[in-house]
Structure 1
Amino acid sequence: MHILFLTDNFPPEGNAPASRTYEHTREWVKAGHKVTVITCAPNFPEGKVFEGYKNSWFSKSKVEGINVWRVKTYITANEGFIKRILDFISFMLSSFIFGLFSKKVDVVIGTSPQFFTVISAWALAKLKSVPFVFELRDIWPASITAVGAMKKNKIIQILEKVEMFLYKQADLIVSVTHSFKKELIERGVDGNKIDVVLNGVDLCKYHPTDKSKSIFAKKYKLEDKFVAGYIGTHGLAHGLSTIVEAAELLKEHDEIRFVFAGGGAERDKVKKLVIKKKLENVILIDRQSKEMMSQLWAVCDISLVPLINKPLFKTVIPSKIFECMGMGIPSVISVPEGEATKIVRDTDSGLVVESESASEIAKAVLDLHSNKEQYVSLKFNCSENSSLFDRRLLADKMLKIVERVVKRVG
């Protein structure tokens, strides 16, 4: 089977969509299938092309057997609605044009969050007369209004109509959460064509690692500190000013450090807040390459997983909770009650606190630092339950679902 996969994020970018696509397609190649990924020059989230890459019209490479085609796009930082839309549209057009040159394709998969990529996948599937698979990573454009990037208006209404068109056109929808599936069914989408494949963790790369072996522990003098880390994209949805407030509440506890590592639209805001409040207990680390992520996680004793208190985020599962489980790192998750909080409670792999509550986050960090017995128990539960979210098993699950739709439709 030849799988054509369209995504605007792919390694060396280290965000959740890039990791999921790479780790799934890698396993599909191992299973004997041909995979072609069409993506763009790596630039997320700063909107700067990574060293060693060019934003050229077209380039080919092979990554662990995956055929990677990179196409030219309008590149901008992950902020600002108009510029991001131009970025999305440019990838839609270039991925479609160069996708026409892919031969003997059996299925086309397009992945969100934004669905301009999926429009290209739908059009290519139609022209090639093969099944069209929509991998649903986010309810978009609802997430735009949820984070306050844009108010509901005619543009959003048009985007919502396109969204529903794509759901109905898809031969298969692969949702990353059960909540998304439930919402789509309530909106009239046929539930029989929706399957759920959760995010997961590559247990070959993410496993318990002694802090002393992390280069970041030595560099930032964290060997003997209790570290609460926020690792990942600094986006509007995360409410990171609340984490800064929690750090301020614990600034007298010299044995505790807060670490922010990553980049994104809110990175400068976090940096300015830390400077303004003169917080010496906060360490800021720049975005690291994907290869360094396990080293970065290793410096953390607990992971901070925040989302702002909006109803939409009840349906979201931050993928970092799975990486934390793999690393044996308990989470302090401060998101609206929903699927993510249920996973953390069911696996007993962390503490659930109220979304956007600095005092509750600070208390949870202090409790886990003070209560060694509880902390050790949570660490054990993380390691015990991580196998439930092994990316290899999840990749195989999605492959079987795709194979079924190809057999049925093709």
Structure 2
Amino acid sequence: MKILLYGINFSPELTGIGKYTGEMAAWFAANGHDVRVITAAPYYPAWKVGAGYSASQYRTETWNGVRVYRTPLWVPHQPGGLKRLIHLASFAASSLPVLLAQWRWKPDVVWVVEPPLMCAPAAVAFASLRGAKSWLHIQDYEMDAAFDLGLIKGATLRCWVAGAERWLMRRFDRVSTISSRMVDQALSKGVSAERVVHFPNWVDISGITPLAAPSAYRADLGLVADAVVALYSGNMGNKQGLEILADVARLLQGDPRIQLVFGGNGSGRADLQTRCAGLPNVRFLDLQPLERLNDWLGLADVHLLPQRADAADLVMPSKLTGMLASGRAVLATANPETELGRVVMQDAACGLVVPPENPAAMAEALRALAADPARRAELGANGRRYAERELSQDVILRRFEAELMALVQGDAA
């Protein structure tokens, strides 16, 4: 198949959508498909264009057998509601000529990822005119999340945006998303059931495995042998509700055995660092290199997974897959009836869930896990088994490949 992937985030970004799109592109290329990618220069989650890349120039490169077209975009240093919209619009506009240039190549499938939804109109129009199939993959319901989190405001505007979104989603041949609750959301927006596909995020279960010895990061950070490490790793943005981590750290500062390590970058990091100023039990690191990812995730005795209540079921934290594969216990903030709550407490049985935005409950749960290494080991082993059974990269992408081929070959039959 000729597969055109279209989205603002791509490798070498280490977290979120760029990580998954990059891994998917490489997998399809390695399995004999002709893959092209239209994307931007890497900038996420630091909101700063990576070294060696330009925000103002077009560039073509070959990466792991994939032809990658990078287009200009504007990257704000502090993304807010309006700035974020301008940022996304800049990529949608600059990438349009590159999309049209694929006319002669004639892809079989145009696969576009949300966010940003702004690229979807051009993608579905191009596919329709060129005789290709169109596929919208939703990692986050960005419009719903933006309004619910207060990044964009206005009841009239929300009503108009929701109507436009519903109309647009129904134009695609397939719409996929990463969790069953998000599938339900697609159905509620008027996409017919036969067009909706559950396409979850995955994890490289051979690349991320439970450590047999203590992580080298313990020595790097000067941690004592019996320290219990609570690790937050990933993007530090608005939908995570990171402020609870500072409150938890403050509540636990009298317990020297519990050390909190926060690794990542993003628009919310500076505020979190300010909130944690002077706390002896907190350490900050940048995102760690991919070659040290297994050791990094294995640093945790407990993985911390905060999420705001108003983002429930609009986003599914992609970082959860690596947590499960690492074989470490998880402590999440979520209501039990949400999908995140159900996965952590029931499906994977990998950890504890406490109410969102309740630092006292989170601190108490962390104390309980810190005092019970046998329970942590049991929860971590449960999570690892779930990852092996449900989240294998090859299993998920092989299933997706079959869906794509059935879609493409349906016209030829």
Could you state the TM-score of these two structures normalised by the residue count of structure 2? 0.93
Any conservation in 2 of the 1:307–1:336 contact (CA below 8 Å)? Answer: no
User: SS of the counterpart of 1:169?
Assistant: coil
CA separation in 1, counterparts of 2:321 and 2:47?
Answer: 27
CA separation in 2, counterparts of 1:211 and 1:267?
Answer: 30
- Aligned residue for 1:404? 406
User: SS of the counterpart of 1:314?
Assistant: coil
| Offset at residue 336 of structure 1 (A) | 2.9
CA separation in 1, counterparts of 2:252 and 2:134?
Answer: 51
- Aligned residue for 1:39? 39
- Aligned residue for 1:16? 16
CA separation in 1, counterparts of 2:219 and 2:130?
Answer: 54
- Aligned residue for 2:354? 353
Given candidates 134, 147, 150, the residue that maps to 2:149 is 147
- Aligned residue for 2:54? 54
- Aligned residue for 1:2? 2
CA separation in 2, counterparts of 1:292 and 1:95?
Answer: 33
Gaps spanning 5+ residues in structure 1: where? none
CA separation in 1, counterparts of 2:214 and 2:301?
Answer: 12
- The answer to whether residue 269 in structure 2 is matched with residue 267 in structure 1 is yes
- The answer to whether residue 371 in structure 2 is matched with residue 370 in structure 1 is yes
Given candidates 185, 191, 206, the residue that maps to 2:208 is 206
List structure 1 runs of 4+ shifted beyond 4 angstroms: none
- The answer to whether residue 80 in structure 2 is matched with residue 72 in structure 1 is no
- The change in CA–CA distance for 1:108 and 1:190 in structure 2 (over 3 A counts) is same
- The change in CA–CA distance for 1:192 and 1:25 in structure 2 (over 3 A counts) is same
User: SS of the counterpart of 1:100?
Assistant: helix
Structure 1 residues 85-134: Cα deviation after superposition (integer angstroms, max 9, x where no partner): 11111211222211222213111010012301223322321332211100
- Aligned residue for 2:242? 240
Q: CA RMSD in A?
A: 1.8
CA separation in 2, counterparts of 1:211 and 1:362?
Answer: 27
Structure 1 residues 45-91: Cα deviation after superposition (integer angstroms, max 9, x where no partner): 23211112222432122222122111111222462112211111121
Aligned length: 406
CA separation in 2, counterparts of 1:184 and 1:40?
Answer: 27
User: SS of the counterpart of 1:235?
Assistant: coil
- Aligned residue for 1:104? 106
- The change in CA–CA distance for 1:322 and 1:58 in structure 2 (over 3 A counts) is same
Amino acid at match of 2:52: G
| Offset at residue 409 of structure 1 (A) | 4.1
- Aligned residue for 1:30? 30
User: SS of the counterpart of 2:309?
Assistant: coil
Any conservation in 1 of the 2:328–2:381 contact (CA below 8 Å)? Answer: no
Structure 1 residues 210-267: Cα deviation after superposition (integer angstroms, max 9, x where no partner): 56443x3222213522110111111111111111111111111111111111111211
| Offset at residue 357 of structure 1 (A) | 1.3
Considering Cα pairs closer than 8 Å and 6+ residues apart, tell me whether 1 or 2 has the greater RCO. 1
Following superposition of structure 1 onto structure 2, how do residues 71-90 of structure 1 map, counting pairs within 5 Å? 71-77=71-77, 79-90=79-90
Amino acid at match of 1:207: T
Identity %: 25
Any conservation in 2 of the 1:211–1:299 contact (CA below 8 Å)? Answer: no
Any conservation in 2 of the 1:316–1:339 contact (CA below 8 Å)? Answer: no
- Aligned residue for 2:326? 327
| Offset at residue 408 of structure 1 (A) | 2.1
| Offset at residue 158 of structure 1 (A) | 3.2
CA separation in 2, counterparts of 1:155 and 1:316?
Answer: 21
- The change in CA–CA distance for 1:40 and 1:78 in structure 2 (over 3 A counts) is farther
Gaps spanning 5+ residues in structure 2: where? none
CA separation in 1, counterparts of 2:341 and 2:145?
Answer: 19
- The answer to whether residue 195 in structure 2 is matched with residue 193 in structure 1 is yes
CA separation in 2, counterparts of 1:204 and 1:125?
Answer: 36
- The change in CA–CA distance for 1:315 and 1:151 in structure 2 (over 3 A counts) is closer
Structure 1 residues 296-329: Cα deviation after superposition (integer angstroms, max 9, x where no partner): 212211111111122x413532122210111111
CA separation in 1, counterparts of 2:159 and 2:223?
Answer: 49
CA separation in 2, counterparts of 1:78 and 1:291?
Answer: 29
| Offset at residue 135 of structure 1 (A) | 0.3
User: SS of the counterpart of 1:3?
Assistant: strand
| Offset at residue 362 of structure 1 (A) | 1.0
User: SS of the counterpart of 2:170?
Assistant: helix
| Offset at residue 295 of structure 1 (A) | 3.3
CA separation in 2, counterparts of 1:228 and 1:70?
Answer: 37
Any conservation in 2 of the 1:211–1:223 contact (CA below 8 Å)? Answer: no
CA separation in 1, counterparts of 2:94 and 2:405?
Answer: 27
Amino acid at match of 1:367: A
Amino acid at match of 2:357: E
